[in-house]
Amino acid sequence: MSTAGAPAATAASAATATATAGRSQNNILFAWFAGSMASCGAVTFTNPFEVVKTRLQLQGELARASPGMTRPYHNVAQAFWVIGKNEGIRGLQKGLGPGYMYQIMLNGTRLGFYEPTKNAMYQVFAGRPSDAAGKQVLPLNVAAGGLCGMAGAALGSPFFLVKTRMQSASKFAAVGYQHNYTSAVDGLRKIWREGGVRGLYRGMDAAMMRAGSGSAVQLATYDHCKSYIARNLAHRGLDGNSVLTHFLASMVTGFFVCTVMNPFDVVSTRMYNQKAASAGHGGVLYKNPLQCFYKTVSTEGVFSLYKGFLAHYLRLGPHTILMFVFVEQIKALGKKYF
Looking at the DSSP bridge assignments, the partners of residue 276 are: 283
Amino acid at 104: I
Would you tell me how many other CB atoms lie within 10 Å of the CB of residue 239?
Answer: 15
Query: Distance between alpha carbon 267 and the CA centroid of its chain, in Å?
Result: 15
CB 16 within 8 A of CB 126: no
pLDDT tens across 220-235, in order? 788 788 888 888 887 7
- pLDDT band, very low/low/confident/very high, at 136 (cuts 50, 70, 90): confident
- pLDDT band, very low/low/confident/very high, at 17 (cuts 50, 70, 90): very low
Burial 255-285 (b: 16+ CB within 10 A, else e): ebbbebbbbbbbbbbbbbbbebeeebebbeb
- pLDDT at position 234, please? 78
Comparing CA positions, the residue from 292, 295, 274, 297 lying closest to residue 284 is 274
Comparing CA positions, the residue from 145, 110, 144, 149 lying closest to residue 124 is 144
pLDDT tens across 201-218, in order? 999 999 999 998 988 888
